[in-house]
Amino acid sequence: MVDPLSYPSLKLVLEYLEANKRFSLASRCSVISGIDKIIPLRIAALRFTDNEIVINEISFKFDDPFIVRETEEEAVERSLKSLKSGDILLDYERKYIKLTDVIYFKLSEDYTYKWIFSVRRLPEKITVNEAMRKLTSYLLGQREKITVGTVNILNTQQNVLRLPPNLKLRTQKLGVGKNDISHLSKILDIPSCLPMNIIGTTAWREAYFEDSFIQSSTEIRLVALKYINDYSAYWFPVVMRLQNKYVKMENLCFSGVRIRTIIKNMIDNRREVGNSVILDCSGERFLNRLLRKVKERFGGTVGTFKEIPENVVFVSDIVSIPLDFDKELIVHGFKNTCSDKKIRILLAVVGTGMVVPVEEKKVKKRSFRFPWFS
């Protein structure tokens, strides 16, 4: 017979057990349930959307279906009501009924993206807000320590996020959608989160430039949404003013003029080695034209990496612009993988010597020779 786990061993096993398996185990075992809340909880990915919380790709969602099937109890009750004296109910049929005020609780059953759900109807007179608050309190409430790999809060239609009181999450990756980062930082255990690795947003506020929490993040990830009129003009001043080590602009292709202005801004502000800006690119033709103009305007040279990085695929030459004696700014296009269709542009400050010059291919002029002159 195998000896039972000691408390320190059990505590360690539970802490590193996948979160949803731990919830399931605690709901079935009173011993585990009794100590579950005092043991640190680790979650790889936590996401909030409208009426939904997703923990490690397991979705807990409250939905409003327009057409649903009767439960077995409802079908039997309806059938019995139609019987006359002497009738015998041999079978019943669960009919489809149209409901607009019945809320369903949907629980994903696996870790894939298959549409497989366990569906339960909420008790009567329980609102979505009450149900969401009870759910988040059960899963996340009254826990001493919750460490999350990535937190995304992407509510778009709800104005209130239903969370348990005194919730404090430890994370270094935060995505907030259009929501105000300063409000959402209240649910973070700030001292343990600093410095943040990544903060992502789809909307920028002027106050963010003075927010020490946001400015401490190593990377700022900006995602443009199409509904903003002239979103290039909206995001360009933001990219120009950000001083974070890494800035990544997604879903937006700036014009060549604006990209060259960003390059000049990086040069004028004497950005440190390791600083970079990543931008989307509209295509190879645009990229090649941009590199040619960057080389001409800033006195750059064409080069190649002394040691080729293995995690990217280069799709253009590298233009190197000298800065101080010990650093230079490089501009080139790349893809994350060979199969990736999206081309991105990297503007990065690197140490002198990382890029070595190469001889540019000279285009040979064609000479036309006519046979009667030969």
Q: What is each CA distance from 95 to 69, 75, 164, 373, in whole angstroms?
A: 6, 7, 38, 93
> 62, 136 in Cβ contact below 8 A?
no
To which residue do tokens 């509510």 refer?
155
Confidence bin at 371 (pLDDT 50/70/90): very low
Q: What is each CA distance from 326 to 12, 108, 305, 321, 346, in whole angstroms?
A: 48, 54, 16, 12, 20
Average pLDDT over residues 356-360: 77
Domain assignment present for residue 124? The answer is no
Domain assignment present for residue 272? The answer is yes
Confidence bin at 103 (pLDDT 50/70/90): low
Closest C-alpha among 366, 350, 354 to residue 273 = 350
Closest C-alpha among 306, 303, 304, 299 to residue 321 = 299
Total number of domains in the chain? 1
Q: What is each CA distance from 258 to 33, 121, 237, 243, 261, in whole angstroms?
A: 57, 54, 10, 17, 5
- 240/78 Cα distance (integer angstroms): 67
Domain assignment present for residue 353? The answer is yes
Range of the domain at 307: 265-361
Domain assignment present for residue 59? The answer is no
Domain assignment present for residue 110? The answer is no
Global pTM reads 0.82
Chain segment 313-348, per-residue pLDDT in tens = 899 999 999 998 899 999 999 998 877 789 999 999
Average pLDDT over residues 77-103: 74
Domain assignment present for residue 82? The answer is no
Q: What is each CA distance from 18 to 23, 44, 91, in whole angstroms?
A: 9, 8, 44
Return the top range by mean pLDDT from 65-79, 282-296, 349-363. Answer: 282-296
> 141, 167 in Cβ contact below 8 A?
yes
The number of C-alpha atoms within 13 Å of 18 and in the hemisphere containing its C-beta is: 9
> 43, 36 in Cβ contact below 8 A?
no
Domain assignment present for residue 146? The answer is no
To which residue do tokens 């509904």 refer?
227
CB 227: neighbour CB atoms within 10 A? 7
Chain segment 184-220, per-residue pLDDT in tens = 999 999 999 999 999 999 999 999 999 999 999 999 9
What per-residue confidence (pLDDT) applies to 82?
83
Q: What is each CA distance from 84 to 2, 212, 298, 349, in whole angstroms?
A: 62, 75, 93, 86
Least confidently predicted of 72-76, 123-127, 188-192, 306-310: 123-127
Q: Taking CA 342 as the corner, what is the angle to CA 340 and CA 347, rounded to the nearest 5 degrees?
A: 115
- 186/195 Cα distance (integer angstroms): 16
Domain assignment present for residue 326? The answer is yes
What per-residue confidence (pLDDT) applies to 104?
60
- CATH code, domain carrying 330: 3.30.310
- pLDDT greater at residue 205 or residue 158: 205
Residue environment code for 49-58, b if the CB has 16+ CB neighbours within 10 A, otherwise e:
bebbbbbbeb
